[in-house]
Structure 1
Amino acid sequence: MPMTLITLLMAFAFCAVHLFVGQLRFLDRNPRSRWLSFAGGVAVGYVFLHILPELAAHSKTFEKATGFDATLAEELVYALALAGLALFYGLERSLAISRDRRMATEGRDRPHHPVFWLHIGASALLVLLIAYLLNHREDPTPAGLALYFAAMMLHFVTADFGTRSDHPEIYDARGRWVLAAATLGGWLLGILVELPELVIGCLFAFVGGGIVLLVLKEELPEDRKSFFFPFLAGALLYAALVLGETYLAV
């Protein structure tokens, strides 16, 4: 099967998560679903075993492309990751503040519409970049693609579930369609446009920072009532798969 068709099917699978996460009723429970904690563990495993090592690899690309010394090039890569983390942290804080203010003034546990749409827009940008990287990853092997796909699928489950819980009415009516369109747009952009390696490194660093924040936001707060052992199982399982794939490739 052509690789382009495989990545297209993966993009459609991402779209299915965006469109139908609200139908996964077994996730909507208190305390938090163990499946969400498991997915969060896989995403954390992806951060430490893929994103952080690839950020280090992209620093060498920065060094060659810019002529900076190795230390400065590495710091620039991690600064981009920090920018992604800071952006999404700011958006999450804006959502929380907006919800508190609306609850105090209107008695509604929902953020204001403009703030929620700002969050959807930033999420769409992140989704677009993730879909673009389906066709432009540091690890081009089939196993690397499969691990990337699995980690991003589970990340989308937790991230979309969290986004939908902020304002399910807007998410179900229009927000999910925006995310699905961004996914297909990112995949198509990856087919039609091959960006320079330096730009891909910048995108990957930014995406990495955003994913780190979103994973920690979903799993760490006390009010999430997360489960440690499913989280640990997800992280260990993903780590075993990555290390096994690396060992077999050597």
Structure 2
Amino acid sequence: MVWLSFLFVVGFILIHLFSKSMKFLKVLPRSRFLSLAGGISVAYVFLHLLPELGVFQDELQGELEDSAWRFLEHHIYLIAMLGLVFFYGLEQMVKSTKRRHEKSNRQHSKDGVFWVHIGSFIIYNALIGYLLIREDYETVWGMLLFFIAMGVHFLTNDKALRATHQEEYDKYGRWLLALAILAGWGVGLLTEVNELIVSVLTALLAGGIVLNVLKEELPEERESSFSAFCSGIIGYSILLLLL
């Protein structure tokens, strides 16, 4: 399914490059589609990514006895929690630093915050590109569901990053995130990364997705649609369970 995974990579790239032009994301104060996307992403994390971490944990049993990483044999979910904490801390740092720099008008420092923020999402996207080709999908439908979940998640992330960094995101960020997906896919095509590393990065990704969804859904000023959010969770969960 290499050819299909490449088509989905192209799809991810197009989402990053052209999400700015998608008018249904510009409904104010909040697009119902973004709440629907949040529900889909949450369903994917809890019904696919987290159970997959359990599989990783079972496969690591006995292999890390003499390693500094042996605690992962029983606590891989701790890494997912640390992923949530890491991305939350990063978001708080970006917001507080951005406010301080806007008051003092220090453009160089603002640029530094942008690169730190985008750098974390480059790793995030590269892992998604890697999983697109390296994860064991039982059917074509499994890969399609992965593409749908991550595609709508990218739309949400793009909107949030553009709101935070504005011109910098459109000039540099969206291109770098698009290239990161292609780079991750290329690494997966040419080589297989150590399973321990993949399991840790997948756990971090799960925590990051949960945080990014909650960050976009919970603030009161978002006026999110609970019905759309629930529709995303229920509809996507049914698809996952049927497959």
TM-score normalised per structure 2: 0.91
Q: Aligned partners of 1:179, 1:65: CA distance in 2, in Å?
A: 34
Give 3-state SS (helix, strand or coil) of 2:132's partner: coil
Decide whether the 8 Å contact of 1:54 with 1:138 is kept in 2.
Answer: no
Residue deviations 1:138-193, cap 9 Å, x none?
54432221111110001101011111111120111111111111111011001001
How far off its partner does 1:58 sit?
A: 1.2
Alignment length, in residue pairs?
Answer: 239
Residue 63 (structure 2) aligns with: 65
Equivalent in 188, 204, 207 of residue 205 of structure 2: 207
Residue 84 (structure 1) aligns with: 83
Confirm or deny that 1:13 pairs with 2:35.
no
Residue deviations 1:101-124, cap 9 Å, x none?
234334x9xx92211211111001
Residue 248 (structure 1) aligns with: none
Percent identity reads: 42
Where structure 1 has 5 or more consecutive residues not aligned to the other structure, the ranges are 246-250
| Amino acid paired to 2:237 | A
Q: Aligned partners of 2:138, 2:96: CA distance in 1, in Å?
A: 42
Equivalent in 183, 194, 197 of residue 195 of structure 2: 197
How far off its partner does 1:64 sit?
A: 3.7
Root mean square deviation, CA, Å: 2.1
Residue 94 (structure 2) aligns with: 95
Residue 164 (structure 1) aligns with: 162
Q: Aligned partners of 1:227, 1:26: CA distance in 2, in Å?
A: 15
Give 3-state SS (helix, strand or coil) of 1:66's partner: coil
Q: Aligned partners of 2:159, 2:151: CA distance in 1, in Å?
A: 12
| Amino acid paired to 1:32 | R
How far off its partner does 1:51 sit?
A: 1.4
Decide whether the 8 Å contact of 1:84 with 1:209 is kept in 2.
Answer: yes
Equivalent residues in 2 for 1:111-150, closer than 5 Å? 112-150=110-148
How far off its partner does 1:130 sit?
A: 0.5
Where structure 2 has 5 or more consecutive residues not aligned to the other structure, the ranges are none
TM-score normalised per structure 1: 0.89
| Amino acid paired to 1:36 | L
